[in-house]
Amino acid sequence: MPRFLPLAAMEQLIKRYSNLRVSEEAKKELKFVLEEEAKRIAVRAAELAKHAGRRTILAEDVKLAVR
């Protein structure tokens, strides 16, 4: 499965909340974790939209999928 989040964004995210350097391995691990969680949320949001008889995923579907 292709990955979509750039490593530079992972570094910026970590640095925003710390004043530490970030290893390549840490950036790659955060990227993997965030993409897997995003996939889980997207699949659940799609299920919710289908269950509601819609072909469009709404913000409410995403919010419910996060819970």
Confidence band for 42, pLDDT divided at 50, 70 and 90? very high
Concatenating the DSSP letter of every residue in 1-67 gives ----S-HHHHHHHHHHT-SS---HHHHHHHHHHHHHHHHHHHHHHHHHHHHTT-SS--HHHHHHHH-
For residue range 8-22, what is the model confidence (pLDDT) as tens digits?
999 999 999 998 999
* pTM score of the predicted model: 0.85
Write down the pLDDT at residue 1.
53
Residue the block writes with tokens 């490593």: 7
Fold of 7-66: Histone, subunit A (1.10.20)
Write down the pLDDT at residue 2.
61
